[in-house]
Structure 1
Amino acid sequence: MDILTAIKTKKVLTSSLFVIIIALAALVFFSLHENRAETIREQESLTATGTVEAKKVTASFKVPGRIENMLVDEGSRVEPGQELARLDTRELSARLSQASGAFDAAKAQARQAGDSVPLTSQQIEAAIEQARAKVAQAEVGVKNARDLYERMDNLYRGAAVSEKSYNDAKNSCELAENVLKEAQAALEQALSARLKVDLAQAQYEAAEGQSSQAGGAVQEARAYLDNTRLLSPISGFITQKNLEQGEMVNAGTPVFEISDLLHTYVKVFISEKKIGRVQLGQDVDVTVDSFPGRVYRGNVVWINNAGEFAVRKAVNEQYDHDIRSFEVKIDVPNPDFSLKTGMTAHVNIIE
């Protein structure tokens, strides 16, 4: 009886073991199948991994100098046009004062030269009119003297007048002619004086040019003085401070780095087999390891038209080729500034 019981017990154990082995085999089979299906789904889905980035702008002075004040520090939030730092302005203020003085002097000279043009013209035209009047008067004197001389000449030939009267008339005629010549010469001289008007006009234009040049020097000095104030070009946070108060700085040397953390983005690479499924404006779910379970909603804002070779090489040279990938930029709003640049972002482009 004990032998039969032992045999039955052994059969039961063998059957149970066989069932357990079959169950384990089935479990392994279905597990492998499920893992393979999950792997296929992951390979076919539009998922990728990238890094959280933000637009960064470097703030630099346009003029060299010594930093007099640093008005913000790392971590400070700034707005467009906000003053960030200031240079020592004493030397530039002195240059502006010198340029302003030279400009005022040039303007005064230009006004004086401008006033002299009509004054000179009036004086010359008055002299010309006076010379013309003298010429006209001399011409009348010459005509009268010649008429008298001709009458005296006829009378003298007829012995009707004395030689003295004849000579007096002759001398008067010659004197009148000399007076006319002098008046005509004075008129020509007065007319030639019109060149002085042209000279005065040229001097005025030269003074105006010097005034404009001096005005440009003033504007340049003011621009240099304005550029001693470093203003923020964008809204964002100071993420890097390169210099300190009291240091000398050259034009263009980076002083601050400003990051727009309100509008972060992620760049990922999508293979050429999947890039046709990605469209501009497409919604994207973004997650980061720092906040498990939290999903940030973004959208596709840029797709690079030029592909790049992927790092993964072809497995079979005969049938497979290097797979190209295309860069995709995803805009991710960050209103609470929880996303930080450099975070690893997991991207799922929603179809």
Structure 2
Amino acid sequence: MKRALILAALVLGLGGAGWWYASQRDATGAEADPPTVAVTRGTVERTVLASGVIEAGTLVPVGARVSGQIETLAVELGQKVKAGDLVAVIDSLDQQNEVLKARADLAQIEAQQASNAASIREAELALDRTRQLNRTDLASTQALEAAEATLAVRQAEARALAAQRDRAQVALASAELALERTRITAPVGGTVVAIVTDEGETLNASAETPTIVKIADLERMVVKAEISEADVIRVKPGQTATLTLLGDPSTAFEATLRFVEPAPPGIAQNDAAETTEAVFFNGLLDVENPDGLLRIGMTVQVSILLERASDVLTVPSLVVSRGDGGRSTVRVWDPASRTATEREVRTGIDNAVTVEIVEGLAEGELVVAARDSDTASAAVTMRGRRSVFGF
């Protein structure tokens, strides 16, 4: 039984080898031509591939610097605004009262300054009279010194009132600024991408600045791409790139690599980079978005161009054999003689799919697609070898 199973397996194996051998011959029984590819002109590119996430070119949180209830929210989600446009209005009754109080305090000090000026004038006149009387011995030296001291006191009060007036002016300016800040305006132009605080809510700006809306510049986006440590040494700012969306891989967007971060993102939490996992560096790419097709948070595939050769001779990379010392060869097929000849070639850019041929081939020549005939040789050996079982 065991011998029968072995014989059956051997028959199947020989039958398969015979089928392969027959398939290599044409209808006349002659050896079939090997598969070939023609040398053509084209473009060869070598790129670095990465995945990335789209971010807004500019994202600005717009907050309130004064506390109060939002009376009016003047924008809607997705609305485009210009710098200076009204975003929200906060209940300003408290701020208005503070302005009125500051103005009253300033007016009171200015009135005191007027009174003090009159007192100074009175003290100056009294001092002049006392000096004249003192010269004729009609006023004592003590009276003269008292008049001089009175004038000095009035002048010191004037300086104090001047300082108080300066402080009151500062208080008034602060109150007016707080009142002005109840009207929240857009610091930059862009699109409202988030509404954080709705109309009617109360804001408390005493501890931190509460955010009302977020405005983003969506006409120019930034792609944060993760570049592997093996590829990061080959990229540099200024290189062009192509972006494709997961939802529409047929549409490409042109971008420019602006910056490559000097350390992995994890360095923000740890002093040393994590080495137990794959290490990536963030590359920032700028891409124009005039039609608004790109949105914040989209995932894209990034292809950063390292080098390109256009209108050059090309063949598939698999047809080129690499030897010692950087020697490259191909097998050129001659249809007339139906023979393949090995020929040395000089190659250029090779992206592992297509290789540039700098020298050694001409456009239109045929190159054998298979680089060796090990399989065919094995089949021929099988046909001429006697089985160990006697067949």
Calculate the TM-score normalised by the size of structure 2. 0.61
Measure, in 2, the Cα distance between the counterparts of 1:92 and 1:102: 15
Offset, 1:45: 3.3
Give the number of aligned pairs.
264
Change in Cα spacing, 1:15 to 1:291, as seen in structure 2 (3 Å) is closer
Matches within 5 A, 1:198-209: 198-209=152-163
Match in the other structure for 1:7: none
Are the counterparts in 2 of residues 308 and 324 from structure 1 also a CA contact under 8 Å?
no
Cα distance in 1, alignment partners of residues 148 and 276 from structure 2: 90
1:221 aligns with 2:175: yes
Alignment of 1:67-146 (within 5 A): 67-132=70-135, 134-135=136-137
Name the SS of the counterpart of 1:193 in structure 2.
helix
Which residue in 1 is equivalent to 2:67? 64
Determine which structure has more spread, i.e. the larger CA radius of gyration.
1
User: Which residue of structure 1 lines up, in the alignment, with residue 269 of structure 2?
Assistant: none
Greater strand share, structure number: 2
When residues 202 and 14 of structure 1 are mapped into structure 2, their CA distance, relative to the original with a 3 A threshold, is closer
How much does 1:259 deviate? 1.9
CA RMSD, 1 decimal: 2.9
Distance in 2, matches of 1:15 and 1:286, equals 48
TM-score of the aligned structures, taking structure 1 as reference length:
0.68
Partner of 1:172: none
Structure 1 residue aligned with 2:313:
none
Higher helix share: 1
What is the aligned partner in structure 2 of residue 303 from structure 1? 260
2:240 maps to which residue? Answer: 283
Q: Is the 8 A contact 2:123 2:147 kept in 1?
A: no
Relative distance call for 1:125 and 1:350 in structure 2 (3 A) is same
4+ residue stretches of structure 1 with deviation over 6 A? 13-16
Percent identity reads 25
| Equivalent residues of 1:51, 1:345 under 8 A apart | yes
Q: What 5-or-longer segments of structure 2 have no aligned partner? A: 1-14, 26-34, 36-43, 267-274, 307-391
Taking the TM superposition and a 5 Å limit, the aligned residue runs for 1:1-351 are: 17-19=19-21, 45-54=47-56, 55-132=58-135, 134-135=136-137, 183=138, 186-251=140-205, 252-307=209-264, 324-351=279-306
In structure 2, give the amino acid aligned to 1:58.
P
Query: Residue 336 of structure 2 aligns with which residue?
Result: none
Q: Go from structure 1 to structure 2 and tell me whether the alpha carbon gap of 1:188 and 1:77 turns closer, same or farther (over 3 Å shift).
A: same
Question: Which runs of 5 or more residues in structure 1 are unaligned?
Answer: 1-12, 24-29, 31-40, 136-182, 310-319
SS in 1 for 2:230: coil
SS at 1:350 equivalent? strand
8 A contact 2:243–2:255 mirrored in 1: yes
Measure, in 2, the Cα distance between the counterparts of 1:105 and 1:46: 73
Contact 2:130 2:147 in 1 (8 A): no
Which residue type is aligned with residue 49 of structure 1? S
Q: Which shows bigger deviation, 255-264 or 269-278?
A: 269-278
